[in-house]
């Protein structure tokens, strides 16, 4: 379904080299996405070029924007159809990936993808704020990533509790997010984080992408994350 030459070129822009096996895995992933999308709402993007650019290439911007340690434990919070986490696992099979989503049908899709592609991936059917309170997941991951549409100050409360001290959270945001970052900065500090850098990129269809990289410098206070209604009503 995907054009291997074009996909390889897209990855090369971010200094990511894809093998024939990895390209085949992305191809199978795209086919599964389109097939399952006929039965459930996974994505509005179903053409080959759109999937390669808006899902696969966009996910690879994470690898260009931060250094993922070898064998890092990574959690993708609110992963949806597996972006960016599943693409990161294909490109970096050494990482130990956990995909978290609140909808069981998405989890079933992700399990099917992992099985078909022969990838060792953990899945969690949980609300983000619930998992962040649970001892077995709280402050257990080297890296958290998220491509969710929530504002950064809300997203940080959902994601930073999963990151161990010394780890990082990478938030995928749109262009021109300076005001959003400024408003989130105090809350990020409250949660034990500190913004390291903001990497601004343009993917090949001209869309802007900002990757906000946040260091976890101290433990998150035990009263966070709060219930989702409180996060939405009174964000930090």
Mean pLDDT by 10 residues, the chain (236 residues): 97 96 98 97 96 98 96 98 98 98 97 98 98 97 93 97 98 94 97 97 95 98 96 94
Domains and CATH numbers, the chain: 4-233 (3.40.50.150)
**Nearest alpha-carbon partner for 13 in 65, 50, 51:** 65
Helix (H, G, I), strand (E, B) or coil at 62: helix
Main-chain phi, psi angles of 54, to 5 degrees? -80, -20
Q: What is the pTM of this model?
A: 0.97
- Give residue 162's pLDDT: 98
- R_g (Cα) of the chain, nearest Å: 17
Rounded to whole angstroms, how far apart are CA atoms 18 and 35? 24
Give the chain's end-to-end CA distance (angstroms, integer). 44
**Nearest alpha-carbon partner for 205 in 61, 49, 80:** 49
Rounded to whole angstroms, how far apart are CA atoms 162 and 157? 10
- Give residue 149's pLDDT: 80
- Give residue 89's pLDDT: 98
CA dihedral of residues 79, 83, 87, 88 (deg, nearest 10): -60
Rounded to whole angstroms, how far apart are CA atoms 80 and 41? 10
Q: How far is CA 95 from CA 87, 89, 168, 215, in A?
A: 11, 6, 14, 19
- Give residue 27's pLDDT: 98
Looking at residue 227, what DSSP letter applies?
Answer: P
Rounded to whole angstroms, how far apart are CA atoms 96 and 122? 8
Looking at residue 161, what DSSP letter applies?
Answer: G
Name 201's bridge partners: 209
Rounded to whole angstroms, how far apart are CA atoms 199 and 177? 11
- Residue 225: Cβ within 10 Å count: 25
- Give residue 107's pLDDT: 98
Specify burial of residue 221 (Cβ count, 10 A radius: 0-12, 13-18, 19+).
Answer: exposed
- Give residue 30's pLDDT: 98
Rounded to whole angstroms, how far apart are CA atoms 122 and 99? 6
């Amino acid at each position: 379904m995907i054009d291997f030459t074009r996909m390889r070129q897209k990855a090369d822009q971010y200094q990511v080299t894809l093998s024939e096996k990895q390209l085949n895995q992305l191809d199978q992933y795209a086919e599964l996405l389109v097939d399952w999308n006929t039965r459930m709402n996974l994505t509005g993007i179903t053409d080959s070029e759109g999937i390669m650019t808006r899902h696969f290439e966009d996910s690879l911007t994470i690898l260009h924007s931060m250094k993922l340690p070898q064998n890092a434990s990574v959690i993708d919070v609110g992963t949806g159809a597996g972006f960016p986490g599943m693409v990161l696992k294909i490109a970096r099979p050494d990482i130990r990936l956990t995909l978290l989503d609140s909808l069981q049908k998405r989890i079933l899709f992700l399990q099917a993808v992992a099985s078909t592609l022969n990838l060792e991936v953990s899945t969690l059917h949980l609300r983000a704020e619930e998992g962040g309170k649970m001892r077995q997941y709280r402050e257990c991951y080297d890296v958290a990533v998220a491509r969710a549409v929530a504002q950064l100050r809300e997203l940080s409360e959902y994601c930073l509790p999963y990151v161990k001290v010394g780890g990082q959270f990478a938030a995928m945001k749109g262009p021109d997010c300076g005001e959003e970052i400024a408003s989130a900065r105090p809350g990020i500090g409250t949660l034990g984080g500190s913004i390291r850098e903001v990497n601004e990129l343009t993917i090949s269809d001209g869309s802007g992408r900002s990757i906000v990289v946040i260091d976890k410098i101290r433990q998150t206070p035990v009263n966070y994350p709060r219930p989702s209604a409180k996060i939405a009503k009174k964000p930090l």
